Amino acid sequence: MSAAVVFEPNGKFELPNTHRRLIAYTIYVGLVALAFGVTNGLAQALNYAHIDIFKYYPGMRTYYQGLTAHGVFNAIIFTFAFANGFVSLALSRALNRPLSTALLHAAFWSLAVGTVLTAGSIFSGKSSVLYTFYAPLQAHWTFYLGLALVVISTWITSVNLFVSLHRWRKEHPGERVPLMAFMAVVTYIFWDISSLGVGTEDVFLLLPWSLGLLPGAAPMLSRTLFWYTGHPIVYYWLLPVYISWYTMIPRQVGGALFSDAIARIAFLLFLCILPVGMHHQYVDPELSHGIKFVTAVLTFALFMPSLLTAFSVMYALEIGGRRAGGRGLLGWFFKLPWSDPSVTAQILAMLTFLPGGITGLMNASYNMNLEIHNTSFVPGHFHLTVGSAVALSIMGICYWLVPFLEGKRLWGRKLAIAQAYFYFVGVLIFARGLISGGLAGMPRRTAISLIPYAEPAGWRLAGILTGIGGALMFIGGALFFVVMAMTVLFGEKQTVADIPFAETIEEPLREGWQPSLDRLAYWTALSLLLVVVMYGPFLATHLPPKFVAQPFQAF
């Protein structure tokens, strides 16, 4: 391990070695979780092709146990751990100052202990409640306690970021917050508000209930609190990746970000239009049509920041491709540095987000939702978003991040590029299978391989494509871990001086309306106000909770 890292060009900054190690370990917790998650994913995909390999998994006794492991490890532990580590590093870099070591330690241990508790309860077979853990399905209390600790680790990380930004502002009066730091902090403000729902559900309803301290469960209240977090959580997965797409990828492709202000506005729109979780509850009986309608409108409003992102990132790529000599309408695209595995993986991930976003809009359309809700269309959608736009981007980020954290050269660059293509082609075939199957009524969360269903037309091909695509994704995932493990264990020593950090064409202005974008307290207040307007009426009728349901353990 080389000594310390010198940050250029914004002055000199030394990233203390303890920080580098803690950030690395935090991210490795996530990668280990991903390894378990991906392994269970293979069985889930083959299930649709009528191939049952559940019985071969050590410790995984049922389909639902495997599916719980898949969802919790991938969608909760992996993503949270990566966000904690990566966003901390981004803020530290952007502000050129170290974070609090004590808080980095606290966040790491909270995450690690929480992960062990949750994983243990899943492996024990007593918590096969899936990653949505709807009551009255009941898990072992260690499942809820573990998840609470994992969420607490994100809150500790927030405090670390906020304190650093506060100190930086005191030392730099009147200066604009650097873009990467702005995005880092907005991501965590957004998440802190978002996580209140599941945090409340977990600590005040589910944990005491699993310990026998409450007379029963309140399913509708629990579900609504869950989805209050369950929608914005998808942007907590995505925004760290957006930090890379906006502020790192332009540098990696030799381009530049075209507008600082547009990037900030996109992030603030995510922050303000936060409470739309009820679009996951279009079919829930206790929510009024009015609230469902407003949710639909707000969900479509959320389309805006994604389009701003698509435009900004595409333009940054185009600038890079044209600087490299690309001509014509699309010539620039082929001049991008495709020999860099970090770039390749992330651009392929962006491409998957195009159909991922479109299927999201289909879900959000009320009538369409009635058709596809609880079908395999939904996992088709979310493997194009979190399962590739996010996961494949994170793999791409790891191709420079792990060498940076370890002070080692990336092992197997060509294999890393092949990995990205395997995963990309795999997820497209996989999602094609699930989406077409879903349109033909193929259910999600069903052990099709174990049930003698009479197969309606359209399920057979859909299932085969899902199996083939999932197997290719699994190969892509496995290759990623080979590259990572070889880099950490046997990579050649090399000091990587800096993380990729893009220039912007339009600098942030100190005069006019732009500095108001940095007044985060106002934007936070606006977001909270919308939360109260959207969720207030529901809570008014559902509090205090009515504990009507008795615990239920299906498997």
Return the number of the residue (150 or 384) whose C-beta is nearest ligand HAS: 384
279 is catalytic: no
Q: Please tell me whether residue 364 binds ligand HAS under the rule CB under 6 A.
A: yes
Tokens of 449: 């391989």
235 is catalytic: yes
Provide, rounded to whole angstroms, the least separation between the CB of residue 364 and Cu ion: 8
Q: Please tell me whether residue 354 binds ligand HAS under the rule CB under 6 A.
A: yes
Tokens of 541: 């009728």
Single residue of 119, 350, 420, 439 touching ligand HAS by CB under 6 A: 350
Provide, rounded to whole angstroms, the least separation between the CB of residue 468 and ligand HAS: 22
Provide, rounded to whole angstroms, the least separation between the CB of residue 303 and Cu ion: 12
Provide, rounded to whole angstroms, the least separation between the CB of residue 306 and ligand HAS: 4
Q: Please tell me whether residue 499 binds ligand HAS under the rule CB under 6 A.
A: no
Provide, rounded to whole angstroms, the least separation between the CB of residue 379 and ligand HAS: 7
Q: Please tell me whether residue 390 binds ligand HAS under the rule CB under 6 A.
A: yes
SS3 category, 549: strand
Instruction: Check: CB of residue 42 under 8 Å from CB of residue 474.
Output: yes
Q: Which of 381, 423, 424, 480 is catalytic?
A: 381
The torsion region of residue 60 among left (phi > 0), alpha (psi -120 to 50) and beta comes to beta
Return the number of the residue (379 or 491) whose C-beta is nearest ligand HAS: 379
381 is catalytic: yes
CA angle 4, 5, 11 (to 5 degrees): 120
Write out the E strands in 62-121: none
Q: How many residues does the chain have?
A: 555
Single residue of 126, 381, 408, 432 touching ligand HAS by CB under 6 A: 381
413 is catalytic: no
Taking alpha carbons only, the member of 141, 286, 134 closest to residue 223 is 134
Strands 14-15 vs 257-259: parallel, antiparallel or unpaired: unpaired
What residues from 451 to 490 belong to the interface with ligand HAS (CB under 6 A)?
A: none
Tokens of 349: 């991930």
Q: For binding to Cu ion (CB under 5 A), which residues are involved?
A: 231
Core vs surface per residue 295-317: b (16+ CB within 10 A) or e: bbebbeebeebbebbeebbebbb
What residues from 241 to 300 belong to the interface with ligand HAS (CB under 6 A)?
A: 279-280, 299
Q: Please tell me whether residue 369 binds ligand HAS under the rule CB under 6 A.
A: yes
Position 99, amino acid: L
Tokens of 504: 């912007």
Site string for ligand HAS, 126-165 (x = CB under 6 A): ------x---------------------------------
Q: Which of 235, 242, 282, 423 is catalytic?
A: 235
Q: Please tell me whether residue 74 binds ligand HAS under the rule CB under 6 A.
A: no
Q: Please tell me whether residue 237 binds ligand HAS under the rule CB under 6 A.
A: yes
d(CA 318, CA 332): 6
Single residue of 49, 239, 378, 483 touching ligand HAS by CB under 6 A: 378
Single residue of 292, 373, 413, 542 touching ligand HAS by CB under 6 A: 373
Core vs surface per residue 32-56: b (16+ CB within 10 A) or e: bbbbbbbbbbbbbbbbbbbeeebee
Return the number of the residue (199 or 240) whose C-beta is nearest ligand HAS: 240
Provide, rounded to whole angstroms, the least separation between the CB of residue 266 and ligand HAS: 10
Please give the radius of gyration of the chain, using alpha carbons only, rounded to the nearest integer: 23
Q: Which of 19, 231, 279, 280 is catalytic?
A: 231
Q: Please tell me whether residue 198 binds ligand HAS under the rule CB under 6 A.
A: no
Cis amide bond preceding 551, omega within 30:
no
409 is catalytic: no
Q: Please tell me whether residue 382 binds ligand HAS under the rule CB under 6 A.
A: yes
DSSP label at residue 135: T
Tokens of 471: 């197997």
Q: Please tell me whether residue 383 binds ligand HAS under the rule CB under 6 A.
A: no
Instruction: Check: CB of residue 49 under 8 Å from CB of residue 463.
Output: yes
Angle between helices 79-95 and 101-123 (to 10 degrees): 170
Sign of CA pseudo-dihedral 196, 199, 201, 204: negative
Return the number of the residue (142 or 295) whose C-beta is nearest ligand HAS: 295
Provide, rounded to whole angstroms, the least separation between the CB of residue 85 and Cu ion: 25
Place of tokens 């009728």: 541
Strands 504-506 vs 257-259: parallel, antiparallel or unpaired: parallel
Provide, rounded to whole angstroms, the least separation between the CB of residue 8 and ligand HAS: 28
The torsion region of residue 133 among left (phi > 0), alpha (psi -120 to 50) and beta comes to left
382 is catalytic: yes
CA angle 507, 241, 263 (to 5 degrees): 25
Q: From the list ligand HAS, Cu ion, none, which binds 81 (C-beta under 5 to 8 Å, kind-based)?
A: none
Name the closest residue to ligand HAS (Cβ).
357
Q: Which of 143, 144, 182, 382 is catalytic?
A: 382
Return the number of the residue (74 or 138) whose C-beta is nearest ligand HAS: 74
Provide, rounded to whole angstroms, the least separation between the CB of residue 190 and ligand HAS: 13
Instruction: Check: CB of residue 42 under 8 Å from CB of residue 69.
Output: no
Question: Distance between terminal CA atoms of the chain?
Answer: 47
Q: Please tell me whether residue 313 binds ligand HAS under the rule CB under 6 A.
A: yes
Name the closest residue to Cu ion (Cβ).
231
Q: From the list Cu ion, ligand HAS, none, which binds 314 (C-beta under 5 to 8 Å, kind-based)?
A: ligand HAS
Region of 109-117, 305-313, 473-481, 508-516 interacting with ligand HAS (CB under 6 A): 305-313
Contacts of 314 (CB under 8 A, 6+ apart): none
Taking alpha carbons only, the member of 82, 103, 208, 188 closest to residue 148 is 208
**Chain positions contacting ligand HAS, by CB under 6 A:** 132, 234, 237-238, 279-280, 299, 302-303, 306, 309-310, 313-314, 333, 350-351, 353-354, 357, 360-361, 363-364, 369, 373, 378, 381-382, 385-386, 390
Active site amino acids: 231, 235, 381-383, 444-445
